Amino acid sequence: MQAQKKSPSTLSPLTKEQLILDLGHDVAQTEDDFMVCAGNEMAFGHVMAFPDWAAPMTLVVGAAKSGKSHLARIWARRAGAAIMRPDIAETFATEGGRQPVLVEDADRNGYEEAELFHLLNQSMRDDRPLLMTARTQVNEWPYKTNDVKSRVRLAAHFSLTAPDDILLSQMFVKLFADRQLSVDPKVISYLVGRMERSSEEVVALVELLDRLSLSRGRAITRAIAAEALVIRSER
């Protein structure tokens, strides 16, 4: 007797473990994936204006998950930038050149103060593009002298702020519409009230909810939203 093929509605749903493996990764960090809002539009505009910058150095400050790393990676691709790490900082400081450089988490990544100081000086001297990110404002950076801080204060500064409930809801509506998904506003309100508050998390949740909905063979409900929140919390 020939075995019957399973229809899409009878396929086994993905397990939580499979979904964590498939969807627990960071979301794509391209220009198209970046959610521009009131809290980041000035920084985004500055990044997109490159190479037409008035000065070579830029600092983007924001809390964890504020989108600063996403924005930095967009710039790095546009600029063809090298990405500096503490273990190779000395090379950047001594070799010089004009290649743009990305310095992420300049306030907490363990950079040697002297090496960062030399890189900042070289950036100003040779007009070498330099984008730095940090979680804290310059006056809170843990460097012993004022050398690094005084140079960083000369950079163009942009602070990223977290989106409010209205903006997060609007992001969900837009991203669901982009995927032709119809979701009850009450489900969106449920998500907004319980999620990690960042535009990056909205993108990740929409991707996960879409996959869960397809796996279960039904529309996105509050129960599926609750499951998605649990999966994201277990990353």
Domains observed in the chain: 8-28+163-233 (1.10.8), 41-159 (3.40.50.300)
Closest CA to 60 of 78, 42, 48: 42
**Angle ∠(200,36,226) on CA atoms, nearest 5:** 35
Cβ-count burial 75-99 (b if 16+ within 10 Å, e if not): bbeebebbebeeeebeebbeeeeee
Lowest-confidence region among 31-45, 133-147, 182-196, 218-232:
31-45
- Has residue 18 got a pLDDT over 80? no
Q: For residue 84, how many C-alpha atoms fall within 13 Å in the half-sphere facing its CB?
A: 30
Condensed to tens digits (0 to 9), the pLDDT of residues 159-195 reads 999 888 998 999 999 999 999 999 999 999 999 999 9
pTM here is: 0.77
Q: Which residue has the tokens 């009230």?
A: 193
Higher pLDDT residue, 4 or 13?
A: 13
Residue 28: band (very low, low, confident or very high) from pLDDT cuts 50, 70, 90:
low
Lowest-confidence region among 2-16, 119-133, 177-191:
2-16
Q: Tell me, what amino acid is at 177?
A: A
